[in-house]
Structures are given as structure tokens and as C-alpha cells.
Amino acid sequence: MKSEEEIMSEALVRIFENVVLTEEKSLQAGYFSDLSIAEMHTLTAIGPYESRTMTKTAEDLGITTGTLTVAIDRLVKKGYVIRQRDTNDKRVVRISLTRNGKLACRMNSKFHRVLAKHILSGYNEEDRKHLLALVNEVDVYVAQQLRRYDGAVNVRKTAMEVAKDSKKENE
């Protein structure tokens, strides 16, 4: 029989992979088949409203501005993103979505909302509240683990610290 830890860890990995795969397949079958998942996530990080700076967007995506520049070049060519110099500070580059970019971004948000709606619809109000509270706890915990690696030059050292902490929790 599988342990609770095995069931939980396998389910977490499977959920993550299946959400990404479903998202990818729905993209390929839909109106925005020329976009990859990573590109769609870049559009979502820019958002459908105010323009954003390259620096802040790269920070939110957890990538360097150099990597974002390459991605934005492609998205500009495909007609999803507009790149402009800031009117007040010419050193700052601002990015925003074209009409097509906004459409892609909103269709993708809808995909996630519909998925969430279907999952929640199987529960009564009390269970929904309970489920959301548990999911939120998992979310906060995983985000905390991720933050430990922020700015960590020595990833192996941080990983060892995380492993030590897990060992302590199990004792």
C-alpha cells in the first residue's frame, strides 16, 4: 500500500503536469496555436491592461531581462505584444498587449477559471471553503520553499538546508 507521502507527492506532480498538458493541448486546438505555453504565460504576466516595464515583468516570471527580451522579440513579431520607450524616462522599455494579445490572455484566464469552476462544482459550500483553505496552505508552503532559492548562488547548499529541515519535521 502506498504511503500518504507517496500519494500526495505523486498527485502533486500529476496535477501540475496534467494542468500544463491540458493547457498546451487546448492552445494547440484553439485560436492561438502559434503560441507556446511559455509565451502564453508571458502574455499573462504582462496582463491585459496597463503597460509594464521589462524589469518588473521578468522579475514576476522569475527570468532574466535578457531571456525576456528574446521572448518579447518573438511575441512582437507574432503580433501579440507592443514594445515602447517610456515617455518620461527613455531608458525604460514598457511592454503591453495588442488586441490579439489581450484576447489570448483573457481566453487563457478563462481556461483556468473554467477548470477551477468544474473542480469546485463537485462540492457543497462548506467543503469548498475547506478545500480552498487546504489548497491555499499547500500554495503558501510551496511558495515559501521556492523563495529559499531566490538569490541563492549555491543551489546545492540551499537544497541541503531544505532537506535538513524536512528531516527535522519528520523527527
Partner 1 sequence: MIMGNAKNPDSRREQIYNEVIRILSSDLEVPADEIERDMDLNTELPFDSLQLYEFVIDLEEAYSIKLPDEMLDQMKTIDDIVNLIMRLTEGK
Check residue 85 for interaction with partner 1 (CB under 8 A): no
Which residues pair with residue 96 across a beta bridge? 82
Tell me which of 102, 115, 131, 158 binds partner 1, using CB under 8 A: 102
**Which has the closest alpha carbon to 99: 27, 149, 15, 32?**
32
Check residue 128 for interaction with partner 1 (CB under 8 A): no
Half-sphere exposure of 14 (CA within 13 A, CB side): 6
Q: Which amino acid is at 21?
A: L
Select the span of 3-11, 106-114, 133-141, 159-167 touching partner 1 (CB under 8 A).
Answer: 106-114
Q: Which amino acid is at 109?
A: S
Binding mask 43-82 for partner 1 (x = CB under 8 A): -----xx---------------------------------
Check residue 103 for interaction with partner 1 (CB under 8 A): yes
Select the span of 64-72, 102-110, 124-132, 148-156 touching partner 1 (CB under 8 A).
Answer: 102-110
CB 46 within 8 Å of CB 57: yes
Please, what is the minimum distance in Å from the beta carbon of residue 97 to partner 1?
Answer: 10
Query: Angle at the Cα of 78 (from 111 to 42), degrees rounded to 5?
Result: 45
